[in-house]
A and B are shown apart, each in its own frame.
Chain A
Amino acid sequence: MNSNLFMVIAASAIFYGTPLFFAALGELLTERSGVLNLGVEGMMLIGGVTGAWASQHIGGTSWFVVLMSILIGTSAAALVGLLHAFLAITLRVNQTVAGLAITIFAGGLGLSSYFASVWNVAQRPATHPIRFLDVGGLADTPILGPIFFHQNILTYFSWIAVVVASIYLFRTRVGLQLRAVGESPQTADAMGINVVKYRYIHTVIGGALAGVGGVYYSLAIIPTWVDGMTKGAGWIAIALVIFGFWRPDLTLAGAYLFGALQSLSLTLKARNMHINGDLLDALPFIMTIVVLVLLSGGWAKKRLGAPASLGVPYEREER
């Protein structure tokens, strides 16, 4: 019973951690270029609602519909990322306020809810939800199977993404240049790196990955649209980047920890354990604050890994 419970929690930690990881990875890449994006929550919701819409309106085989929904949700969120890039990079608006504006504009009371009501997305469940996928019979492996291989395609894709992102950031020339742009855009500019281009591209990628997280919510977790269904996941993703010291691998570990916290409430409630449900709901948010406090004091003060120019607009004239 206990090992069984452990396996359920481990598997759902991965299941619920995956969308957090996608959003956090996007934020990580954006922040590595020196742009702070606080609009993640809004971008996730736009991705989620457009993905849910696509799933209801596209015809074809289940596979085709799922892929198209992911693609459409991701592209819509990428467009919102482009909007943030324009505000933050071209107009040099205060990035904190611009990101907040994105979340208010696109969030649970804004555009995502508008789209949902104009398109009647909330009326019916997604016709082709993202279901679990058994890769080559691995799901039958004892212990590891139910934990790691009873997952869906996006989760498998996230494992590829973490490897690719790590190699990209730390083992390629482009990744090095990206980090240079985030640390010191002046120096990067002097080296002939196009700061604006790097920042634009990574802000748009950040939006796209937030969109993948959003589609995961509306098609994999609860395959029916609910306004504001990400419930703060975008903000937890932003905190995860700090927990992960701006490294993809550690961010993945952090995402699973928070996935476990989120799933704990559902798992324990389903098993009739006598723990207050509200307290369990509160756990991820309390943990975020606690970890943030631990990381902001003492030895971590140097903010290991934080790009030095994070949130600072680059003005070429002022060299």
Chain B
Amino acid sequence: MKSPLRLERRLTQPKKLNWLVPLISIAAALALGAIVLLLTGKNPLSAYHRILETAFTSKSSFSGTLVSATPLAFTGLCAALTFRAGIINIGGEGQFFMGAVGATLAGLALSGQPTAIIILSMVVMGALFGGLYAVIAGVLKAKFNTNEIITTLMLNYLAGIFLNYLIFGSTSYWRDPQSMGFPTGKQLQPRAFWPSLHIVGFTVPLGFLLATILGMLLWFLYARTRFGYEVNVIADAPSAARYAGMRTRWKIISVMAIAGAVAGFGGASDVGDFRHVLDAKGLQLAGYGYTGIVVAALARYNPVSAVTVAILMGGLTNAGYALQGPNFPSGLVGTLQGLILFTAVAGEVLTRYRIRTQKSGALSEVAA
């Protein structure tokens, strides 16, 4: 049984593949999505047309897309940072939750202070909570070599249960004591709301601006500093890094702390920019952390591209919210995002290999 497809390692990587591969990936994902739609009796053309219309082509809809893109930019950055360092941190979800917990605490406790101070403390507390939560998995990996994929995932579920505990399972500081029938979180005072910016007719959330700046800073950190260089070496050649005297364990913990803090920023922005409350159910339904992984993979783990790709994914999410109904089933957006992730990772193969179709086995004889 010989496989009809054969992969040949590329000796050089043509530059044009850098933009061609993501483009082909998205096109292929849309084609596969169309098959799913057709098989379930839906019209793919009208579905795609409506997504495009609702997400991108009008000014107000694009502002909505930026809102949906903001949390994804943070979780995308979080995933990109760790994946590039060879750490498979799936914990953006839980780190985001914890950031929201910390930021809500600051926002509620300092409600008498000036807006600038509230916002600053929300950001700091969000980053602190998210960062510390990520450090748990970082320390376990660095000290005991524990598989971070599973620990970060378990920590995601634990963070979700913690949210449930704070809002539904206890009379915590985060819960609104007035809410009796269905418990909800305590609302922030309006002065703790983050302002949005109005740039050429678009409404840009403060959080999105923060994510853009962070993306550039983190690109600089990875591409232009000694820290970033060492992280890259550790990811590509761990033993070489150890022989060169790099502090591998410390780097793992630091990268996790930074990535967790970035996800925590996202949690803070979620509370400050949008929800203004610790929304235990809403956060768990959104799945920002998992979509962040799609964002990071499509951005090929580049921090600056991650913010751009987040806009694309945000558009899809935004359209999903707006169009949800009998003609636009729930789960379609997640399915499309999953397909994009498939084609993005499969597209990665195209940058490393050339695909040859095998004729009559002659080629394989030569190669073997």
Residues in chain A within 8 A of chain B (CB atoms): 38, 87, 90-94, 96-98, 100-118, 194, 196-197, 227, 231-232, 235, 238-239, 242, 276-278, 281-282, 285-286, 288-289, 292-293, 296-297, 301, 316-317
Contacts and interface: CB of A to CB of B under 8 A. Distances in A.
A110 B145 contact: no
A110 B164 contact: no
B349 A93 contact: yes
A97 B1 CA distance: 27
B157 A285 contact: yes
Q: Which of B154, B161, B332, B342 has the most chain A CB atoms inside 10 A of its CB?
A: B154
Contact of B153 (A102, A227, A235, A278): A235
B334 A38 contact: no
A104 B293 contact: yes
Contact of B339 (A105, A113, A286, A316): A105
Give the top 7 A-B pairs by smallest Cβ distance, nearest first: A105-B338, A113-B331, A114-B331, A110-B334, A109-B334, A117-B329, A278-B165
B334 A289 contact: no
A43 to B, nearest CB: 13
Contacts of B140: 289, 293
A103 B236 CA distance: 26
B362 interface: no
Contact of B154 (A90, A115, A227, A235): A235
Contact of B335 (A98, A105, A281, A296): A105
Interface in B39-75: 40-42
A100 B147 contact: no
B352 to A, nearest CB: 9
Q: Which of A103, A104, A242 has the most chain B CB atoms inside 10 A of its CB?
A: A104
B82 interface: no
Interface in B157-184: 157-158, 161-162, 164-165, 169
A301 B144 CA distance: 9
Nearest to B40: A118
A278 B159 CA distance: 11
Contact of B169 (A231, A232, A242, A278): A278
B36 interface: yes
A238 B40 CA distance: 31
Contacts, number: 160
A22 to B, nearest CB: 19
B212 interface: no
A249 to B, nearest CB: 22
B158 A285 contact: yes
Q: Which of B5, B164, B346 has the most chain A CB atoms inside 10 A of its CB?
A: B346
A52 to B, nearest CB: 14
A189 to B, nearest CB: 10
B7 A293 contact: no
B152 to A, nearest CB: 10
Contacts of A109: 287, 290, 331, 333-334
B367 A317 contact: yes
Contacts of A235: 150, 153-154
A111 B368 CA distance: 41
Contacts of B27: none
A118 B329 contact: yes
A286 to B, nearest CB: 7
Contact of A232 (B153, B333, B341, B345): B153
Contacts of A276: 165, 169
Contacts of A296: 144-147
For chain B, give the interface size range: 35 or more
Contacts of A278: 161-162, 164-165, 169
Given A110-B335, A115-B331, 5 more contacts: A98-B342, A104-B341, A239-B154, A282-B161, A296-B145
25 contacts: A92-B353, A98-B342, A100-B341, A104-B293, A104-B338, A105-B337, A105-B338, A109-B290, A109-B334, A112-B331, A114-B40, A114-B330, A194-B1, A196-B3, A232-B153, A235-B150, A242-B147, A276-B165, A278-B165, A282-B158, A285-B161, A289-B150, A296-B145, A297-B146, A301-B145
Contacts of A97: 297, 341, 345
A261 B21 CA distance: 46
Contacts of B151: 289, 292
A297 B157 contact: no
Given A109-B334, A111-B331, A242-B147, A93 B293 contact: no
Contacts of B3: 90, 196
B7 A91 contact: yes
A93 B349 CA distance: 7
B192 to A, nearest CB: 27
B345 A104 contact: no
B111 to A, nearest CB: 27
Nearest to A294: B144
Given A109-B331, A110-B334, A96 B88 contact: yes
Q: Which of B143, B290, B294, B331 has the most chain A CB atoms inside 10 A of its CB?
A: B331
B331 A286 contact: no
Given A111-B338, A114-B332, A114-B335, A38 B149 contact: yes
B348 interface: yes
B90 interface: yes
Nearest to A231: B157
B341 A105 contact: yes
Interface string B112-142: 0000000000000000000000000000100
A98 B345 contact: yes
A29 B214 CA distance: 43
A117 B346 contact: no
Contacts of A288: 150, 154
A181 to B, nearest CB: 14
Nearest to B158: A285
Contacts of A102: 338
B345 A87 contact: yes
Contacts of B293: 100, 104
A119 B287 CA distance: 23
Contacts of A316: 368
Contacts of B9: 317
